[in-house]
A and B are shown apart, each in its own frame.
Chain A
């Protein structure tokens, strides 16, 4: 039995065999069923169910699409077209009696995690998880350590996690990359393993990565006037007191995703000449051409900043600033990112921009790290044969 349609016909022809047919069907294949550019989602767990809907975060694709019931059963299915090599995170909304709730696809073992929990994953043909996200033979692991920095501007102490490459020695200076949402990057993008591999392959020069988390994250990362002071006047000196860091903006990077991207660009824009390398993933760079935005008060400073940036992008510092930007095509932010990157190029910044058929999620951000880091901090991969 190849397809859901075949299954429906078989059940219609022999209703008494429905459970056996369903059991055989779910035991026999991987879910969702992927054929060409069509993904067929399927739900059946043997329990009475009123309805099933597909919950996803693909901007532009109808959400909460209803599944079709196979007549006379509690099995449901839904086929949708998705682009080649795309990757969609999703859940099912089940309605049973008076209750309804979101669950992961029980037939799909592929999961993706984020700070809010986990989702099921539908990787379309053409998508492959990169090899360099798993520990690689021959790549020596760096180490993580942490220390506290008292922040006068925030009025509290902040823990900074620091990645030191395997070859790190206290008397040698390294480039520095400051990473917003560092704990999430470590947890959800395997950042340490990625760094170990890319440095071990000599694709990325050995760097120190200082990882910070926001106290009141969205408020602080959303173009807050205190944030550049914290990063440049408090955090950076604290790092440089503790570790030898190479001087010059070309050896200093700052990165983040979503609001972390805003925090990075906002800091670089507020303090031009400090950071020469920016890594901005799915930056929440909302702006308005006319009128007010409708994203809520949290976004007011962000929109104000991006509007100002669009008027004066050259303030960032021109050709010496290298910027890597990426965004998922399934995000509402794609419009802003697409619009911003030519503007930065026109201001003579050295910009590399990538968009992929994925969403606003940590795996999408993980998958871009090789391209981003090798461009911002290239290693001597052509030259080193150990």
Chain B
């Protein structure tokens, strides 16, 4: 029987993590991953205050990553070269994205004139947009394959011990907590230490994973970056990379109220269409969506978790509402929401 995977919104100003752990009967030690906080990853005072009854077993993978790099120069050089190549490639992705988004905007502006003429064009362009996003995930993986020395960092002597310490922590902890922060750093550090497989094994063994904000984003099939009103540029969302694939079918969007124009249905519809078949779910402080016994259920504060609909409408998930997440990408789009 698999354990629960719990997705939470931002923990400020009012954390609901204590309530979540209590609800799942987790009173023992918990493993904590805070690599998204980067150089601040060991500042656990706030977590300790929130969880006074749980012993925190910190897994400082942000620092470990630097230590391993210092001890394994061959790995470090290959990893740096790989990341540089990925960054260089991203210029091509952004150029493709920009052209496609310009075409989508131009076509959206035409639809009112003659929907029957232009809607098929819009659908075609949105399909192209999805193909561009799919391709970036594929290309980044291909670039990684060009660097076999970086395929299993934990196989290097300097990382082996730390990898074992993660496994040991998982064996003794009743939950793994993954905090938010810098989603790129968090995602990369977790992959570096093989946490995609370790977390999957942990959940399959009945363990509970609780992740919030960037932690939640990194568990999805792919990581989407978004900020609709940046001080510079147009603020078009872009796919960063694949995620850890622990919550297939959902893309989690924390801080949506601040980061997205959720009141702009045209923009949100475009995002929804672009992300299909995944379902876009926004998360604010108090959100709590969990996968238990094969079903995704919203249990948090009303309005804190919302579903982005196909037409761009953003609808709150009711407490107790069961979400049917779509099947893997290869299957047809069959997004449904079931209200008990």
User: What residues make up the interface of A, taking CB atoms closer than 8 Å to B?
Assistant: 137-138, 167, 172, 201, 203, 370-371, 374-375, 378, 380-386
Contact = CB atoms under 8 A, between A and B. Distances in A.
Contacts of A382: 225-227, 230
A385 B231 contact: no
Nearest to B215: A385
* 4 interchain residue pairs of minimum CB distance: A374-B231, A385-B214, A385-B213, A386-B180
A172 B183 CA distance: 22
A383 B184 contact: yes
Given A167-B40, A374-B232, A381 B13 contact: no
B217 interface: yes
A371 B231 contact: yes
Contacts of B214: 384-386
Contact of B183 (A138, A201, A371, A384): A384
A384 B227 CA distance: 10
Decide if the interface of chain A is mainly helix, strand, loop or mixed. Answer: loop
B243 interface: no
Contact of B10 (A374, A381, A386): A386
Given A381-B227, A385-B254, A386-B214, A375 B232 contact: yes
B231 A386 contact: no
Most buried by B among A138, A172, A380, A385: A385
A137 B10 CA distance: 13
B225 A138 contact: no
Given A382-B227, A385-B213, A386-B181, 8 more contacts: A138-B13, A375-B231, A382-B225, A384-B36, A385-B10, A385-B183, A385-B254, A386-B10
15 contacts: A167-B40, A203-B231, A374-B231, A381-B227, A382-B226, A383-B182, A383-B184, A383-B185, A384-B182, A385-B181, A385-B183, A385-B214, A386-B36, A386-B181, A386-B213
A384 B213 CA distance: 9
B97 to A, nearest CB: 13
B234 interface: no
Contacts of A383: 182-185, 225
B84 interface: no
Interface string B171-210: 0000000001111110000000000000000000000000
A382 B90 CA distance: 14
Contacts, number: 51
Contacts of A381: 227, 230
B230 A386 contact: no
B49 interface: no
B221 to A, nearest CB: 17
B39 interface: yes
B255 A385 contact: yes
B12 interface: yes
Contacts of A386: 10, 12, 36, 180-181, 213-214, 255
B56 to A, nearest CB: 18
Contacts of A378: 232
A172 B40 CA distance: 10
A229 to B, nearest CB: 35
Nearest to B283: A385
A167 B183 CA distance: 19
A385 B13 contact: no
A138 B182 contact: no
Given A172-B39, A370-B231, A385 B12 contact: no
Contacts of B183: 383-385
Contacts of A137: 13
A10 B225 CA distance: 60
A172 B13 CA distance: 26
Contacts of B182: 380, 383-384
Interface string B215-233: 0010000000111001110
A203 B13 CA distance: 20
A374 B232 CA distance: 8
A325 to B, nearest CB: 16
Nearest to A379: B231
Nearest to A140: B12
Most buried by B among A137, A167, A370, A384: A384
B250 to A, nearest CB: 15
A378 B182 CA distance: 15
Nearest to B214: A385
A351 to B, nearest CB: 15
Contacts of B258: 138, 201
A378 to B, nearest CB: 8
A137 B285 CA distance: 12
A138 B40 contact: no
A17 B23 CA distance: 73
A180 to B, nearest CB: 23
B217 A385 contact: yes
B288 to A, nearest CB: 17
B32 to A, nearest CB: 15
